[in-house]
């Protein structure tokens, strides 16, 4: 038996420690190179099979295919002066060396109040540096009163790069500090808190190394921002599992004189819910393989790798560390063999109050959740590109300036590719279509089989009018694929709708099957799933109120609803799983009511601490400059807290008490559920 009291097995802890030292030494260099495999491939993040994705994939076949134009807007409301024109012309000559082609003269607006300089830049690793040089050159020495802004694809890429610069490390540091504070408050030990932190850090290194190796050698796609989500997920889930194992180990130390034996029993009793939890979250993430969105699809296997990494570390390294350090690691509250169980705590008192009127409690609780859920009915979804960052980037201001003096889509034209090299029918159809302000000359592909046209829409790219124009063009213009700008936004929204309709039922099915397998019941899993889903909508409604009236966000990013559901349901079921499995264990050797109350009393503290840790890790995403990350962080944090302190601690016990032994149907005819407790761990 692992870590048993037999002398040969006692040596196993040292072998485990040595093995993890070797693994960590090998993993750290690979994990440190994870940024090397992060790619900003638009085609990989776009919906699989969509027209905009096809255009993105075909673009490299054209002479300008690897370009990201930087568009400089020069605006003076009183009218462009001769000095302004001289400045724009001087900039054109100055930036010619960094351009990837001819820089055309500045284009004046019809109202005479603006100039537009378009500079082709290579879309490669040098884009950020060239875009910064273009911005600095154009803004340096501008005549007084002339507003100069860099926009276009290069300007947007520069703004995003500036926003992400050096942000990942502060987010991680904030996460560690918050989690450390929670652990110190939970255990009040100057040493014990280090072990969950160390285990989480090693799990991060191992997971990062695996993702790096798969990205480098197996073609696994790692998108921008994915490593931040991986860090939050692995750190939170690893710490949670460590807390649950620590709590069970501390219980067993009071029952066994030998710490090795106590750990062996703790592992055996904690393994089922922890492994079921890891299976729930990892399989839930793998349901994203059914998604159309490239980002969602790629997140599935990467997230699953992180969860499994955390599981393996916590179930092997942490037990070895605990038995090596011995009981003193819990100082000053060291659990001794024969110590009486802790006195009646807060969760024991909560349980008895719930037991007085359980039906009233769960009905009232669901009414509260329903009221919060009602706020979700007013959610607006779909952020404009201007709201991608939490602050208004310079490129967005530049795009708005151009929209005031040029056709709305001038800064971000559509890209239309046709397999008719002459492109004459497509060009004619586009020129005659309503909502089209201009059509560029056809550009043949390098192999002469395709043609590409830039199409400027009359309306701003993010407007509903522009989206209606693109939908109409797709129906009326034959033999053409529409991508970039408004076309990409339409495809992204359609793919997210598909993913929600497909992935959410899959996740619910996977979670239900795992709960049924663990609990060997049907009623309990169905009730648990129902409460988690209701708490998700309640958290969504409460989050929307915060986003709308506190953060000032005009809408919810299209990815947030699915990501929030996935993390909240999978992680929310975790805590219910830990609670209900422990209740089932307690009921197996006693009265149902007493078992429910005992299960809540012994798990309440540790699950509450675990919920605080997980809420903190996702809450740290709130300091990110990306609106989507902030919204995911707030939604998951709020949902975890709601589930931990209200759904799991109040509503689920009330349902278990009200339904009685029917809670375990179809096993309710038995005197107890089919689980027995070993003699060595029975209560005294």
User: What pLDDT does 180 receive?
Assistant: 84
Residues 30 and 213: beta-carbon distance below 8 Å? yes
- Tens of pLDDT, residue by residue over 429-441, are 999 899 998 898 8
For domain 1-32+166-340, say whether CATH 1.20.1640.10 is its number. Answer: yes
Q: Report whether 532 contacts 643 (CB < 8 A).
A: yes
Residue pair 309/34 in contact by the 8 Å Cβ criterion: no
pLDDT for position 343: 60
For range 488-511, the mean pLDDT: 89
**pLDDT at residue 31 is higher than 60:** yes
Helix (H, G, I), strand (E, B) or coil at 90: helix
The full 3-state SS of 328-359, as one line of letters, equals HHHCCCCCCCCCCCCCCCHHHHHHHHHHHCHH
Does the pLDDT value for residue 166 go beyond 70?
Answer: no
Model confidence over 557-604: pLDDT tens digits?
888 888 888 888 877 777 888 888 889 888 887 789 999 998 899 888
Q: What DSSP state is assigned to residue 523?
A: H
Residue 680 has what pLDDT?
39
pLDDT tier for residue 8 given thresholds of 50, 70 and 90: low
Q: Where are the alpha helices (DSSP H) in 95-193?
A: 127-139, 152-164, 168-187
Q: What counts of helices (H) and strands (E) characterise the chain? A: 23, 11
Which residues make Cβ contacts (< 8 Å) with residue 601, sequence separation at least 6? 344, 345, 347, 348, 351
Fold of 67-164: Alpha-Beta Plaits (3.30.70)
Q: Residue 32: is its pLDDT beyond 80?
A: yes
Q: Residue 596's pLDDT is what?
A: 92
Q: How far apart are CA 8 and CA 177, in angstroms?
A: 39
Left (φ > 0), alpha (ψ -120 to 50) or beta: where does 47 sit?
beta
Cβ burial 425-451 (10 Å sphere, 16+ → b, else e): ebbebbeebebbebbeebbbbeeeebb
Cα dihedral angle (123, 124, 125, 127), rounded to 10 degrees?
Answer: -20
For residue 670, report the phi and psi dihedrals to the nearest 5 degrees: -75, 160
Res 333: pLDDT: 83
CA–CA distance, 330 with 320 (Å, rounded to integer): 15
SS3 state at 199: helix
The pLDDT > 70 percentage for the chain reads: 94
User: Which residues in the chain are classed under CATH 1.20.1640.10?
Assistant: 1-32+166-340, 343-392+494-684
Inform me whether the pLDDT recorded for 552 exceeds 50: yes
C-beta pairs of 320-325 under 8 Å, 24+ apart in sequence: 320/3, 320/12, 320/13, 320/14, 320/16, 320/17, 320/20, 321/17, 321/195, 321/198, 321/199, 322/195, 322/246, 322/249, 322/259, 322/263, 323/3, 323/13, 323/259, 323/260, 323/263, 324/13, 324/14, 324/17
The pLDDT of residue 41 is 58
The model's confidence at residue 1, banded by pLDDT at 50, 70 and 90, is very low
Q: How many CB atoms lie within 10 A of CB 658?
A: 18
pLDDT of the residue at 286: 92
pLDDT of residue 232: 83
The CATH 3.30.70.260 domain(s) of the chain lie at 67-164
Give the span between the Cα atoms of 221 and 211, in whole angstroms: 9
Highest mean pLDDT among 397-406, 419-428, 646-655: 646-655
Q: What is the mean pLDDT of residues 285-314?
A: 90
Tell which phi-psi region holds residue 482, choosing left (phi > 0), alpha (psi between -120 and 50) or beta. beta
**What is the pLDDT of the chain when averaged over all its residues?**
86
Host H or E run for residue 438? strand 436-439
Q: Cα separations (Å) of 321 from 16, 105, 266, 314, 508?
A: 9, 69, 14, 10, 36
Q: Which residue has the higher pLDDT, 337 or 28?
A: 28
Least confident segment among 2-16, 411-425, 452-466, 595-609: 2-16
> pLDDT digit string (tens) for 601-618?
988 888 888 888 888 888
> pLDDT for 200-214, tens place per residue?
999 999 999 999 999
Average pLDDT over residues 108-114: 92
pLDDT of residue 9: 57
Mean pLDDT for the stretch of residues 273-279 = 88
Provide the whole-model pTM: 0.81
Helix boundaries (H) for 287-333: 294-325
Residue 274 has pLDDT above 80, yes or no: yes
In the prediction, which pLDDT does 684 show?
32
Q: Do 104 and 59 form a contact (C-beta atoms < 8 A)? A: no
Interval 216-238: pLDDT, tens: 888 888 877 788 788 888 888 89
343-392+494-684: in CATH 1.20.1640.10: yes
Distance (Å, whole) CA 304 – CA 211: 10
Paired sense of beta strands 436-439 and 443-444, if any: unpaired
Distance CA 651, CA 358 (A): 8
Which parts of 46-166 fold into alpha helices (H)?
51-58, 82-94, 127-139, 152-164
Strand partners, 381: 556
For residues 329-353, give the mean pLDDT: 82
């Amino acid at each position: 038996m692992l870590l048993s009291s037999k002398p040969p097995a006692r040596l196993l802890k040292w072998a485990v420690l040595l093995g993890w030292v070797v693994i960590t030494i090998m993993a750290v260099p690979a994990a440190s190179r994870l940024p090397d495999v992060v790619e900003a491939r638009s085609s990989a993040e776009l919906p699989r099979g969509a027209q905009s994705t096809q255009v993105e994939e075909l673009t490299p076949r054209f002479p300008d295919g690897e370009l990201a134009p930087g568009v400089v807007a020069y605006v003076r409301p009183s009218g462009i002066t001769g000095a302004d024109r001289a400045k724009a012309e001087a900039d054109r000559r100055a930036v010619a060396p960094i351009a990837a082609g001819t820089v055309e003269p500045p284009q004046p607006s019809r109202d005479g109040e603006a100039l537009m300089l378009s500079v082709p830049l290579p879309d490669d690793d040098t884009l950020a540096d060239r875009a910064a040089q273009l911005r600095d050159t154009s803004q340096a020495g501008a005549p007084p009163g002339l507003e100069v802004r860099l926009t276009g694809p290069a300007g947007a890429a520069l703004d995003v790069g500036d926003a992400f610069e050096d942000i990942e490390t502060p987010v991680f540091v904030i996460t560690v500090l918050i989690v450390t504070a929670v652990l110190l408050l939970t255990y009040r030990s100057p040493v014990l808190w280090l072990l969950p932190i160390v285990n989480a850090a090693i799990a991060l290194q191992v997971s990062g190394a695996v993702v790096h190796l798969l990205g480098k050698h197996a073609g696994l796609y790692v998108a921008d921002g994915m490593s931040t989500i991986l860090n939050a997920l692995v750190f939170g889930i690893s710490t949670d599992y460590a807390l649950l194992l620590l709590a069970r180990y501390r219980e067993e130390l009071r029952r066994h004189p030998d710490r090795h034996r106590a750990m062996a029993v703790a592992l055996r009793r904690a393994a089922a819910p922890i492994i079921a939890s890891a299976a729930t979250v990892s399989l839930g993430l793998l349901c994203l393989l059914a998604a159309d969105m490239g980002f969602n699809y790629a997140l599935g296997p990467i997230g699953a790798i992180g969860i499994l990494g955390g599981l393996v570390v916590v179930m092997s390294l942490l037990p070895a560390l605990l038995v090596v350090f011995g009981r003193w690691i819990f100082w000053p509250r060291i659990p001794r063999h024969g110590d009486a169980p802790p006195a009646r705590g807060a969760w024991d008192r909560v349980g008895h109050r719930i037991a007085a009127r359980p039906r009233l409690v769960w009905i009232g609780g669901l009414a509260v959740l329903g009221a919060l859920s009602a706020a979700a009915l007013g959610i607006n979804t779909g952020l404009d590109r201007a709201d991608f960052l939490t602050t208004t980037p310079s490129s967005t201001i530049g795009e708005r300036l151009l929209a005031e003096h040029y056709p709305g889509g001038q800064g971000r034209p559509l890209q239309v590719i046709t397999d008719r090299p002459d492109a004459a029918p497509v060009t004619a159809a586009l020129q005659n279509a309503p909502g089209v302000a201009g059509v560029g000359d056809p550009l043949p592909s390098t192999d002469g089989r395709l043609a590409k046209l830039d199409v400027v829409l009359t309306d701003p790219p993010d407007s509903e009018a522009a989206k209606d124009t693109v939908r109409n063009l797709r129906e009326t213009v034959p033999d053409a694929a529409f991508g970039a700008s408004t076309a990409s936004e339409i495809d992204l929204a359609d793919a997210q709708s598909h993913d929600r309709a497909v992935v959410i039922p899959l996740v619910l099915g996977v979670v239900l099957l795992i709960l049924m397998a663990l609990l060997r019941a049907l009623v309990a899993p169905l009730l648990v799933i129902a409460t988690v889903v209701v708490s998700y909508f309640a958290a969504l409604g409460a989050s929307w109120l915060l986003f709308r009236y506190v953060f000032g966000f005009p809408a919810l990013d299209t990815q947030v609803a699915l990501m929030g559901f996935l993390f909240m349901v999978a992680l929310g079921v975790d805590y219910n799983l830990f609670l209900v499995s422990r209740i089932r264990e307690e009921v197996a050797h006693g009265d149902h009511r007493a078992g429910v109350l005992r299960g809540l009393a012994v798990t309440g503290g540790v699950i509450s601490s675990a919920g605080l840790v997980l809420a903190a890790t996702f809450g740290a995403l709130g300091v990110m400059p990306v609106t989507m990350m902030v919204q995911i962080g707030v939604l998951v944090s709020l949902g975890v807290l709601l589930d931990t302190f209200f759904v799991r601690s109040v509503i689920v016990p009330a349902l278990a008490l009200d339904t009685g032994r029917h809670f375990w149907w179809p096993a309710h005819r038995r005197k107890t559920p089919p689980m027995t407790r070993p003699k060595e761990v029975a209560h005294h």
